[in-house]
Structure 1
Amino acid sequence: MNENEKLAQDVKAWRAKEGFTAAAAAKVLGIPKRTFEGIEQGRGFPYPVLLRVAIESETRSLGANLKGS
Protein backbone atom coordinates (compact mmCIF):
# COMPACT_ATOMS: atom_id res chain seq x y z
CA MET A 1 0.00 0.00 0.00
CA ASN A 2 1.46 3.36 -0.98
CA GLU A 3 1.26 6.57 1.07
CA ASN A 4 -1.71 7.97 -0.88
CA GLU A 5 -3.71 4.77 -0.33
CA LYS A 6 -2.84 4.74 3.38
CA LEU A 7 -3.86 8.39 3.74
CA ALA A 8 -7.15 7.66 1.93
CA GLN A 9 -7.83 4.75 4.25
CA ASP A 10 -7.07 6.83 7.36
CA VAL A 11 -9.22 9.76 6.21
CA LYS A 12 -12.15 7.46 5.38
CA ALA A 13 -11.88 5.79 8.80
CA TRP A 14 -11.77 9.17 10.56
CA ARG A 15 -14.79 10.45 8.66
CA ALA A 16 -16.79 7.29 9.38
CA LYS A 17 -15.84 7.39 13.08
CA GLU A 18 -16.94 11.03 13.40
CA GLY A 19 -20.05 10.53 11.26
CA PHE A 20 -19.22 13.38 8.89
CA THR A 21 -20.40 13.78 5.34
CA ALA A 22 -17.60 14.56 2.89
CA ALA A 23 -18.74 18.20 2.83
CA ALA A 24 -18.75 18.47 6.63
CA ALA A 25 -15.34 16.80 6.94
CA ALA A 26 -13.86 19.15 4.34
CA LYS A 27 -15.32 22.14 6.16
CA VAL A 28 -13.91 20.97 9.51
CA LEU A 29 -10.47 20.58 7.94
CA GLY A 30 -10.71 23.85 6.02
CA ILE A 31 -10.20 22.35 2.57
CA PRO A 32 -12.43 22.27 -0.52
CA LYS A 33 -14.85 19.35 -0.75
CA ARG A 34 -13.39 18.24 -4.09
CA THR A 35 -9.91 18.16 -2.55
CA PHE A 36 -11.23 16.05 0.31
CA GLU A 37 -12.94 13.68 -2.11
CA GLY A 38 -9.68 13.35 -4.05
CA ILE A 39 -7.82 12.45 -0.87
CA GLU A 40 -10.39 9.75 -0.09
CA GLN A 41 -10.02 8.41 -3.63
CA GLY A 42 -6.29 8.00 -3.16
CA ARG A 43 -5.12 10.95 -5.26
CA GLY A 44 -2.99 12.19 -2.39
CA PHE A 45 -2.42 15.51 -0.73
CA PRO A 46 0.74 17.63 -0.86
CA TYR A 47 0.91 17.88 2.95
CA PRO A 48 -0.11 14.47 4.34
CA VAL A 49 1.57 15.03 7.71
CA LEU A 50 -0.33 18.29 8.23
CA LEU A 51 -3.58 16.59 7.25
CA ARG A 52 -2.97 13.82 9.80
CA VAL A 53 -2.21 16.43 12.49
CA ALA A 54 -5.42 18.31 11.61
CA ILE A 55 -7.48 15.13 11.82
CA GLU A 56 -5.97 14.21 15.17
CA SER A 57 -6.51 17.74 16.47
CA GLU A 58 -10.14 17.79 15.36
CA THR A 59 -10.76 14.38 16.91
CA ARG A 60 -9.37 15.58 20.25
CA SER A 61 -11.29 18.84 20.04
CA LEU A 62 -14.56 17.09 19.26
CA GLY A 63 -14.01 14.64 22.11
CA ALA A 64 -13.28 17.44 24.55
CA ASN A 65 -16.38 19.33 23.44
CA LEU A 66 -18.55 16.28 23.96
CA LYS A 67 -17.12 15.65 27.42
CA GLY A 68 -17.62 19.28 28.37
CA SER A 69 -21.28 19.31 27.35
Structure 2
Amino acid sequence: MKSVNIQISDFEFNQLGLNKNTLSFSELVDIIGKKITKQTLEKSIQLSNKCGLSEMTMQEINDEIKACRNAKSSS
Protein backbone atom coordinates (compact mmCIF):
# COMPACT_ATOMS: atom_id res chain seq x y z
CA MET A 1 0.00 0.00 0.00
CA LYS A 2 1.18 3.49 -0.83
CA SER A 3 0.76 6.54 1.36
CA VAL A 4 0.10 10.15 0.35
CA ASN A 5 0.47 13.10 2.69
CA ILE A 6 -1.75 16.13 2.17
CA GLN A 7 -1.40 19.35 4.11
CA ILE A 8 -4.45 21.55 4.62
CA SER A 9 -5.09 24.49 6.89
CA ASP A 10 -6.91 24.12 10.20
CA PHE A 11 -9.77 26.10 8.63
CA GLU A 12 -10.09 23.65 5.73
CA PHE A 13 -9.79 20.70 8.12
CA ASN A 14 -12.68 22.04 10.17
CA GLN A 15 -14.68 23.11 7.11
CA LEU A 16 -14.59 19.55 5.77
CA GLY A 17 -15.71 18.25 9.16
CA LEU A 18 -12.65 16.05 9.53
CA ASN A 19 -12.17 14.49 12.92
CA LYS A 20 -9.09 12.35 12.44
CA ASN A 21 -5.68 12.90 10.91
CA THR A 22 -5.54 9.65 8.94
CA LEU A 23 -8.11 8.81 6.26
CA SER A 24 -8.29 6.33 3.45
CA PHE A 25 -8.41 7.80 -0.03
CA SER A 26 -12.02 6.66 -0.49
CA GLU A 27 -13.01 8.38 2.77
CA LEU A 28 -11.42 11.63 1.61
CA VAL A 29 -13.10 11.41 -1.81
CA ASP A 30 -16.45 10.76 -0.13
CA ILE A 31 -16.07 13.73 2.25
CA ILE A 32 -15.01 16.10 -0.54
CA GLY A 33 -17.78 14.78 -2.80
CA LYS A 34 -20.41 15.51 -0.16
CA LYS A 35 -19.00 19.02 0.33
CA ILE A 36 -19.14 19.72 -3.42
CA THR A 37 -22.68 18.33 -3.63
CA LYS A 38 -23.80 20.57 -0.78
CA GLN A 39 -22.22 23.64 -2.39
CA THR A 40 -23.87 22.81 -5.72
CA LEU A 41 -27.27 22.41 -4.06
CA GLU A 42 -26.89 25.74 -2.27
CA LYS A 43 -26.00 27.47 -5.55
CA SER A 44 -28.99 25.83 -7.25
CA ILE A 45 -31.30 27.06 -4.52
CA GLN A 46 -29.91 30.59 -4.80
CA LEU A 47 -30.36 30.55 -8.58
CA SER A 48 -33.87 29.16 -8.22
CA ASN A 49 -34.79 31.96 -5.83
CA LYS A 50 -33.18 34.61 -8.05
CA CYS A 51 -35.07 33.44 -11.15
CA GLY A 52 -38.37 32.93 -9.35
CA LEU A 53 -38.37 29.20 -9.99
CA SER A 54 -38.71 28.42 -6.30
CA GLU A 55 -42.30 29.70 -6.50
CA MET A 56 -43.36 27.09 -9.09
CA THR A 57 -45.90 24.45 -8.11
CA MET A 58 -45.32 20.77 -8.85
CA GLN A 59 -47.95 21.00 -11.59
CA GLU A 60 -46.10 23.90 -13.24
CA ILE A 61 -42.84 21.95 -13.05
CA ASN A 62 -44.46 18.87 -14.58
CA ASP A 63 -45.98 20.99 -17.35
CA GLU A 64 -42.56 22.48 -18.15
CA ILE A 65 -41.00 19.01 -18.29
CA LYS A 66 -43.73 17.75 -20.63
CA ALA A 67 -43.36 20.80 -22.88
CA CYS A 68 -39.60 20.29 -23.08
CA ARG A 69 -39.96 16.60 -23.88
CA ASN A 70 -42.59 17.31 -26.52
CA ALA A 71 -40.36 19.95 -28.12
CA LYS A 72 -37.46 17.49 -28.23
CA SER A 73 -39.51 14.72 -29.81
CA SER A 74 -40.95 17.13 -32.39
CA SER A 75 -37.56 18.28 -33.66
Q: Structure 1-normalised TM-score? A: 0.45
Larger RCO, structure (CA 8 Å, separation 6 or more): 1
Question: Which protein is bigger by CA-based radius of gyration?
Answer: 2
Q: Structure 2-normalised TM-score? A: 0.42
